[in-house]
Amino acid sequence: MSFKETQIHAGKRGNRLPSPSAPGRASSSARRHGLAREALDAAVRDRRPIALDEVMREAALQTRVDRKFLLTPEQFTALLKSLDQRFRVLEIDGLRTFRYASVYFDTPDFEQFRAHRQGRRRRYKVRTRTYVDSGLSMFEVKTKGRRGATVKHRLPQDTRAAGILTEQSRSFLEDVVSAEYGQEVPGLEPVLDSNYVRATFVDPHDGERLTCDADLTYADRRQLLHGPDLFVVETKTADGRGAAERALARMGIRPVSMSKYCIGMALLHTDLPANRWSRLLRRHFEWEPARAA
């Protein structure tokens, strides 16, 4: 269940983090456990498909309530079996599982990580997200709206800009942060590369979405970490009450306070204060903080 570490010796590449699939680096395809991926492939075969345009029309949920859960492959299979056939699987060009590559930005002293750890009201995440199989890329800013709802602001971009804070994306970011919080944006740089495989299940009737991620990896310029054979399942609803959450409650599975970004930063930088997630990190990722010299 532990993260497997691969040390990286990469040359300078400007502000862009090296891709985990680049030559000379281990990739997630080299992992051996694979039970989560097998469960994911089985689950998507058993569902009716839904097209992306219908998802965007019926269940876009740019403003939403998100809750995350960590599931074993067995729990994930049981969850999908408990959901009725209204939940359909997103299908694009014949594909039902998709590779995601995200690069997160922060200040050199990780100000946004610290804001999330402290639970500050005015906090945000900045990332580029590339949908590897379709060749689409987005610059994204996630803010907190009323009553803790997540608001996602997106700007389409060329895939060559993935992992780079361009003049256009910087201007977009400044507009969002100024409008939402009345703040100025500090100097940011890429600090974390996150990759995984995702399937999305959608109930177009209620607008509920369920994203299911496996094969998680984290990387920076120093190392690449392969994740445990678990699912990160995220429910996305308009009001925080949905069929998937009710099913998880019946299974006795409670939501976890987990940000992929913050978990990745804590794993890659064991000297950072991560007490907010320490129980989860120790239980599922065999994490131990760095000892003071």
Per-residue pLDDT of the chain (293 residues; tens, 9 = 90+): 345 554 443 333 334 554 443 322 333 333 445 899 999 999 999 899 999 888 887 666 555 688 999 999 999 999 999 998 889 999 999 999 999 999 999 999 999 999 999 988 889 999 999 999 989 999 999 998 776 677 889 999 999 999 999 999 999 999 999 999 999 999 999 999 999 999 999 998 888 899 999 999 999 999 999 989 999 999 988 776 789 999 999 999 999 988 899 999 999 999 999 999 999 999 998 888 887 55
Return d(Cα 170, Cα 165) in angstroms, integer.
Answer: 6
Contact yes or no for 281/292 (Cβ under 8 A): no
Query: For residue 50, what are the β-bridge partners?
Result: 90
Q: What is the pLDDT of residue 19?
A: 46
Return d(Cα 148, Cα 122) in angstroms, integer.
Answer: 11
Return d(Cα 178, Cα 234) in angstroms, integer.
Answer: 28
| Per-residue DSSP letter, 18 | P
Return d(Cα 99, Cα 199) in angstroms, integer.
Answer: 9
Q: What is the pLDDT of residue 31?
A: 43
Q: What is the pLDDT of residue 195?
A: 96
Contact yes or no for 102/130 (Cβ under 8 A): yes
Return d(Cα 33, Cα 135) in angstroms, integer.
Answer: 28
Helix axis angle for 73-82 and 35-45, nearest 10°, is 10
Angle, CA of 180, 236 and 197, to the nearest 5°: 105
What is the topology classification, in CATH, of domain 4-21+28-285? Hypothetical Protein Pfu-838710-001 (2.40.320)
Diameter of the chain measured on Cα atoms: 56
Both tokens of residue 12? 């300078």
**Amino acid, single-letter form, for residue 83:** L
CA dihedral (84, 131, 287, 107) positive or negative? negative
**Where exactly are the structural domains of the chain?**
4-21+28-285
* Cβ-Cβ contacts under 8 Å for 36 (sequence gap 6 or more): 73, 76, 214, 215, 229, 230, 231
Element (H, E) at 128: strand 124-131
Return d(Cα 186, Cα 68) in angstroms, integer.
Answer: 29
CA dihedral 247, 81, 72, 240 (to 10 degrees): -30
Burial class (CB in 10 A: 0-12, 13-18, 19+), 11: exposed
> Coil, strand, or helix at residue 156?
strand
In this structure, how many other beta carbons lie within 10 angstroms of the beta carbon of residue 250?
A: 10
